[in-house]
Structure 1
């Protein structure tokens, strides 16, 4: 056979025929070739094919010994899949490809290794375990082929393209498995995210039975905390939140806003850590509620986030519980504006400077329950000036200042930032 060592085959052909097939087809050069097997003579297949079963057995036996993730016996469907993958690889590499200008993997063989990657992702093993098994297979194959070529008398110079073929082929099947693995992981992540978003929406809708909630949470991979908070922030500030908060949070990108559900912080240190994870984003954190009242925390945070009067540049994370009065005052701007128009209407005939001065005095008077000394101190005026202004206010409001309900309404609208408008 022409690919044997020349010393052993001198009677079969001249030196210039060494390394050619029986049809004397010139051997392809490796220089610039992306397919090193094309440089091998076709009769390499005949020399190696009979020994391939022993190489398969050695690889299959070594994998559980040297790759910890595969330490269990290669039995059942798993063992069958491993053996089939090894047999296909060696058959393709040493029987089909030598002397042919073909890609490493045809569509059907590529599908085999893609599916191996998919299967590994589904079992939860790491991609590195699979690639380690492939590298082991390449080492074992190279050593075995070296021994076989020496035994059958294959020319030493053919070891270079044989070795390169083995490692290029392993790269190809690794790439196919990586593709299957990553696509399956992406599919799993996408499916989990869809399940988590569905769970979040069901919780915010309310009236979710506990049995159903636990079932949905199990499918979504999210243990429902006993007490939680809802966080609301603008959709444009949602980038990177999943990475920052991790799997502990349910996150949904709703229209115009991002909504998050997560376990309620139990200390000021945990509140600070949450604020750090949110990274200065303008977020409102709702009040702590039991898991089955998540919609209440969400609704309170939404009311706060929707109020233009509470919007502040660079405000960062704010907590509804720390701003309840301000939120209540600004919960419905139209209602508060209507109340302010009615309560402050008596001041509409005053001059602008007088309106502002008396409105300020009225608010401080209401806050301090008429204590002139404290009023004068806050306004930085003489107590007699306070008396003079109060006289003007009584001329404007008459008996309304003696009515507890009217005083309450006046304080509400003034604390909400409303001031008398001109007539």
Structure 2
């Protein structure tokens, strides 16, 4: 069979090349240039190898042949096409080849089992070609994904450095398909909580590892919807989110997020299913300012909370809790009662105790300010 078909290999190749654009519409283009050369080479190598195989123990694909079909698979990724288009072209080539065999050889003289074996061999061979192309397609996708991650990480670092002088940030953002926003936030997520983080953030989030944390740069132009999106992606991850900044000042957002973590700013309130909301530094700025000088804050707390010394711990805890609510709500009983989940009469009783303990000091705006500072810093 091989000897009979060798002289007409060129005709079969041309029939396949001519028919592929009709049978696989995505290839409805002139078979010219590198694309046409690649297709012609693939068809020619496949046919000649197929004719070399009968009566031998050669593998279906030589190393060179395998490289050709892996390269065709890679080319589909680079051209933005699905692998299915290439596999459809292979199946079309198999049908054309089988018809050519039927025209060249008097198949009526072949035993049915021989004809069946021929068909099975041809389509098994196409499976080998398809597997090689699928491998090349997957490798190209993986390499491109890895390169994209590397470039996105490089973009994040450039933003954190504030590199804006030569337009490099804008060019790299365009290269990775990331729209450079005017305003961003920078968030930190500790390593034990990063599983599935990139998928949760989607393409808007830039992610890179730094020390024991993962750093995120996230667009924050539309404040409310962006905060909602980030809340959802970071829920349960013990994340700290720095304040919004122009992207050129993103390092400030990172600095404040890092400082909040270093000073133990508390996590957000418990969410359904026990998940914790991320810490938003903008909601804890006063606490962060106070925590920046813990020794001074502790000294101030000892001075201002001295009237409570000697009280039983449970009583002291109730009164400091009430004092903070009283300061925060400027003495309004209803919101204080709502916050503490107690009756307004209970608020009045506790405030009376506080006024008895602190005396005229509670009338001094400076003292009230200092009391609120130390209480917000967690002193009791």
Query: After TM superposition, is the score higher than 0.5?
Result: yes
The worse-fitting range, judged by mean Cα deviation, of 129-138 and 278-287 is: 278-287
1:392 paired residue number: 357
Q: Any residues of structure 2 matched to 1:169-318 within 5 Å, and which?
A: 169-209=125-165, 211-264=167-220, 266=222, 268-269=224-225, 271-278=227-234, 280-311=236-267, 314-318=275-279
Give, in angstroms, the shift of residue 253 of structure 1: 2.9
State the alpha-carbon separation in 2 of the partners of residues 373 and 271 from structure 1: 30
Q: Which of the numbers 2, 23, 27 marks the counterpart of 1:66?
A: 23
Question: For residues 285 and 359 of structure 1, what CA distance do their matches in structure 2 show?
Answer: 29
Per-residue deviation, 1:309: 4.5
Q: 1:369 to 1:239 in 2, by over 3 A?
A: closer
- Assess if the C-alpha contact under 8 Å between 1:235 and 1:255 holds in 2: no
Contact 1:47 1:152 in 2 (8 A): no
Whether the 8 Å contact between 1:253 and 1:259 is mirrored in structure 2 is yes
- Say which SS state the counterpart of residue 188 (structure 2) adopts: strand
Deviation for aligned residue 1:215: 1.9
Counterparts in 2 of 1:382 and 1:171: CA distance versus 1, 3 Å: closer
Partner of 1:417: 378
Change (3 A) 1:259 1:378: farther
* Larger CA deviation: 158-167 vs 144-153: 144-153
CA drift at 1:407: 3.7
CA displacement at 1:147 relative to structure 2: 2.0
Distance 2:64 2:220 in 1: 52
Q: Following the alignment from structure 2 to structure 1, what is the Cα–Cα distance between the partners of residues 251 and 162?
A: 6
Are the counterparts in 2 of residues 347 and 355 from structure 1 also a CA contact under 8 Å?
no
Do the aligned partners of 2:207 and 2:214 also contact (CA within 8 Å) in 1? yes
Rounded Cα–Cα distance in structure 2 between residues aligned with 1:200 and 1:93: 51
Indicate the SS of the match to 2:29.
coil
Moved more, 361-370 or 255-264: 361-370
Structure 2 length normalisation: TM-score? 0.83
**CA offset at residue 247 of structure 1?**
2.0
Between 114-123 and 305-314, report the one with greater CA deviation: 305-314
Map Cα deviations across residues 9-41 of structure 1 (whole Å, 9 max, x no partner): xxxxxxxxxxxxxxxxxxxxxxxxxxxxxxxxx
Any conservation in 2 of the 1:217–1:224 contact (CA below 8 Å)?
yes
8 Å Cα contact 1:372-1:386 kept in structure 2? no
| Corresponding position of 2:123 | 167
User: What is the deviation of 1:389?
Assistant: 4.8
Is 1:336 matched with 2:297?
Answer: yes
Aligned to 1:146: 102
Q: Give the conservation status (yes or no) of the 8 Å contact 1:63–1:70.
A: yes
1:350 aligns with 2:310: yes
Which range moved further: 192-201 or 405-414? 405-414
Structure 2 residue aligned with 1:90, among 21, 31, 47? 47
Counterparts of 1:201 and 1:229, CA distance in 2: 14
Query: Does 2:341 align with 1:380?
Result: no
Q: CA-atom RMSD, angstroms?
A: 3.4
- Which one has a bigger Cα radius of gyration? 1
Q: Give the count of matched residue pairs.
A: 369
| Cα contact 2:107–2:115 (8 A) shared by 1 | no
Report if the CA contact (8 A) 1:120-1:130 is conserved. yes
2:333–2:348: 8 Å Cα contact kept in structure 1?
A: no
Q: Which residues of structure 1 form unaligned runs of 5+? A: 1-43
